[in-house]
Amino acid sequence: MKNFLIIIKKFTPAIILLVIILIPISNVFAKDVNIGVGIPFTECTAGSAVGLTTYIGCWYIFGVYLTALISTAVVGYGGYKYIMAQGNPDELMEAKETIYSGVVAIIVITLGYLILNSISGEIVTQAP
């Protein structure tokens, strides 16, 4: 858990900068934005005109898909490390921590989805 907080503190400025770059100020006042590059797994395709909330929702859906994929891979990698540990207690503990981290990430993704769905279902129901 301590490592997770260190990672969050380390990457928070980068995430804020990324959000500032992805949502230019000029688009905030626009009714519909014509995006040039499509966002995978969402309705935001290249050249489509979407509103700001739809655009943010598309990035959210993409982030959920990407994070779920990475978390599943982390759990799989932890399982592989657990199998390959062959009874070594240090390696078993490290493998369990890896699996735990992946499961916690999946739980956080699910809770985030449920919270946003209860606040505004329009954000999380963007059809791929």
What pLDDT, in 10s, does the model give residues 25-83?
444 545 666 666 777 777 777 777 777 777 777 788 888 888 889 999 999 999 999 99
Distance set, CA 113 to CA 11, 20, 52, 90 (Å): 22, 23, 19, 35
How many domains does one find in the chain? Answer: 1
What pLDDT, in 10s, does the model give residues 117-128?
787 776 666 544
When pLDDT is cut at 50, 70 and 90, the band that residue 18 belongs to is low
Q: Which DSSP state fits 50?
A: E
Domain residues for the domain of 70 are: 2-124
pTM for the full predicted model: 0.64
Distance set, CA 37 to CA 17, 23, 67 (Å): 19, 13, 21
